[in-house]
Amino acid sequence: MEENKDRYFLVSPGDDQITRTRATARRYLWMREDNGQWVRILNQSWRERHSNDIIQLCTKVESPLLLDWSFAYLYKNDYQSGWLNRNGRFFGCPENYHDKLAHFVLFLKVGELERTGWVRVNNPLYYSHEKRLSEEQKNWLSSNGHKVYG
């Protein structure tokens, strides 16, 4: 069973440019290693390994869907954008990462979220939804500075 698992690393890139600009706030990304390079899981982009990369965690799992995304920058509830479920629970993500959050954290397709009444919160001023808002969603939106109509 172990042979079906890939190794994934939670890495904070440490090249000189990133280290200088993010000295106080480290951003961790799930990556896998391939021939001495890192491959980012979210977008399959490549980057060179650097001697000052910080590896926070290494794990073996069968699929990147099984990784704990709360360790990485993809999913944090203090973001101003994300998805809001019918019960008023917010799942925060960086701007423009809604589809990645849906896939890797919520294990759903964007269309499923929209059809079942989830709200896409894009920023502090804009949100969109396909179904009538629940009372819990209205409460969360108004409590977080959004204008709620109807």
Average pLDDT over residues 94-105: 94
* Whole-number pLDDT of residue 126: 93
* Whole-number pLDDT of residue 16: 47
Average pLDDT over residues 110-132: 95
Between CA 38 and CA 44 the distance in angstroms is 9
The yes-or-no verdict on residue 1 having pLDDT over 60 is no
Those residues with Cβ within 8 angstroms of residue 113's Cβ, 6 or more apart along the chain or in another chain: 83, 102, 106, 120
Provide the percentage of residues in the chain whose pLDDT is more than 90: 61
* Beta carbons of 82 and 98 less than 8 angstroms apart: yes
How many Å is the maximal CA-CA distance in the chain? 56
Q: Would you call 55 helix, strand, or coil by DSSP?
A: strand
Between CA 135 and CA 149 the distance in angstroms is 12
* Beta carbons of 107 and 96 less than 8 angstroms apart: no
Q: Which of 94, 116, 57 is nearest to 105 (CA)?
A: 94
Q: Which of 126, 129, 107, 106 is nearest to 116 (CA)?
A: 129
- SS3 sequence, 63-120? CHHHCCHHHCCCCCCCCCEEEECCCCCEEEECCCCHHHHHHHCCCCCHHHHHHCCCEE
* Whole-number pLDDT of residue 148: 93
* Whole-number pLDDT of residue 22: 47
pTM of the entire predicted model: 0.78
Task: Report pLDDT digits (tens) over 44-69.
Answer: 888 889 889 999 999 999 988 889 88
* Whole-number pLDDT of residue 23: 46
Higher pLDDT, 56 or 149: 56
